[in-house]
Chain A
Amino acid sequence: MPTLREVRRRILSVKNTQKLTRAMKMVASSKLRRAERLLVQARPYSEKMKEVVASLAFRTGVKDNPLLRPGESGKVELVVLTGDKGLCGAFNSNVLRFAVSSIKGQVDNEVELFLVGKKGRDFFRRRPEYSICDEYVNFWRTFGLGDATHVSEKITSAFIKRSYRAVYLVYNEFKSALVQHVVLEQLLPITPMQLSEAQPGPEAEAADSADPKEPEPVRTDYLYEPSAAALLDDLLLQHIEFQVYRAFLESQASEQGARMTAMDAATDNADEMIRILTLQYHRARQASITKELIEIVSGAEALAG
């Protein structure tokens, strides 16, 4: 039976931990709100971007762009997006487990890793059997479009220079604060399929702006400035950059969602623990009172006897 003081100390310690988890939960939920807003704001850009790139790619029929063709090296690059920090449930380990299993699935290709986020880097650094070609860490706190630009520049230049067969992104897709889904997405080469699935979003504000467009683009001949090929080059780069940015946003929102859920659960668990400890405390107190009473009573009896 633990002594009274020990139990009291433990209750205090659990209460302190609970304060931390509760604060972290609140921080995560406000960050989540911000991340979600960014995601929503990125949506119209994403749709317009897909529209424009798809229509240009089809109309010009440019086939020899290096970003549209798989490289010949027999290597693929896997870009793994994790957080810089832990304490967010299975968020990081889900991505990492998925990454490891998809590396194993690539039997006839050599896989090189581009690790975004500290958790993923630390994980793969401890496992020398994987080859890491690049990393980008400690940026989530101040994350912005610039980070995505930086990473996407590295990805595209590596894709061309080392002629990867393909580049894949592995990240947590944000479904809701409670649900995240690990997905594998092919980033490069850009496939016509990927472009053609430019479906309008659910809340298609584009309804009236898209209507007059439907019949037109097939027939209209555009003027291009600079040339169509140069333009496509530029557009594709920006398309990639934006895809990376979007994946970052998804991952960030997922991370905060996962952290919020995890910290919420932790706070609940702390409540439960405090309840049990308090019970224990009362029992111990009761026991000591009973003991004292017995001592007094038996002492008095001894005197009387």
Chain B
Amino acid sequence: MEENNSKLSLTLVTPTAHLVFEQVDEVRIPGSEGDFDVLFEHTPFLTTIRPGVLSYRVGKQTHYFAVSAGFAEVIPTRVIVLARTAESASSVSERRAKDALERARNRLEKAAKGDSDIDAKRAETALLRATARLRAIALSSKR
């Protein structure tokens, strides 16, 4: 690890899995107040995150994860991301994400028409999550 002393150690954990523990060059995190990039020696920073795409770069390789709510702690040499759920782009099924997006849209529309059975807030988070998954796929296949 000494030879990589300009690298960040990134930890990405969710309640059900320990997904990433790696030395990386750069991390992009979807913070609740906007996306931000973290490089080595970033100022200490603590933020909540919103559903979106988290990506990190090791050399020329970039990896994408769709994450949902959680938070991130940044200190100069280390980034810890605690997300409620996270899926790597390669493990997301595009069809399922699209289905989920469709469902969430329908539910939101119904909620907008005044169907009180539907939890609009929940539908909205589902929509954000599905969008994030699709974006992660799109980003990682574009590369």
Contacts and interface: CB of A to CB of B under 8 A. Distances in A.
A and B associate: yes
B47 A224 contact: yes
B71 to A, nearest CB: 6
Interface string B53-85: 000000000000000011101010110101011
Contact of B44 (A45, A145, A208, A220): A220
Contacts of A221: 44
Interface stretch (A73-81, A88-96, A111-119, A231-239): A231-239
Q: Which of B11, B71, B80 has the most CB of A within 10 A?
A: B71
A39 B108 CA distance: 35
Contacts of A52: 46, 71, 73, 80, 82
A225 B77 contact: no
A38 B73 CA distance: 24
B32 A225 contact: yes
A118 to B, nearest CB: 24
Interface in A199-220: 205, 208-209, 212-213, 216-217, 220
Interface stretch (B13-21, B89-97, B129-137): B13-21
B45 A216 contact: no
Secondary structure type dominating chain B contacts? strand
Nearest to A38: B16
B4 to A, nearest CB: 12
Contacts of B69: 238
State which size class the interface on A falls in: 20 to 34
A45 B82 contact: yes
B75 to A, nearest CB: 6
Secondary structure type dominating chain A contacts? helix
A224 B46 contact: yes
B3 interface: no
A225 B45 contact: yes
A56 interface: yes
A41 interface: yes
B48 A145 contact: no
B33 interface: yes
B31 interface: yes
A237 to B, nearest CB: 10
B43 interface: yes
B115 to A, nearest CB: 20
A45 B15 contact: yes
Contact of A225 (B18, B47, B75): B47
Nearest to A225: B47
Given A52-B82, A224-B47, A231 B75 contact: no
Interface of A: 38, 41-42, 44-45, 48-49, 52, 56, 145, 205, 208-209, 212-213, 216-217, 220-226, 231, 234-235, 238, 242, 245
7 contacts: A45-B13, A145-B16, A222-B44, A224-B45, A225-B46, A235-B48, A238-B69
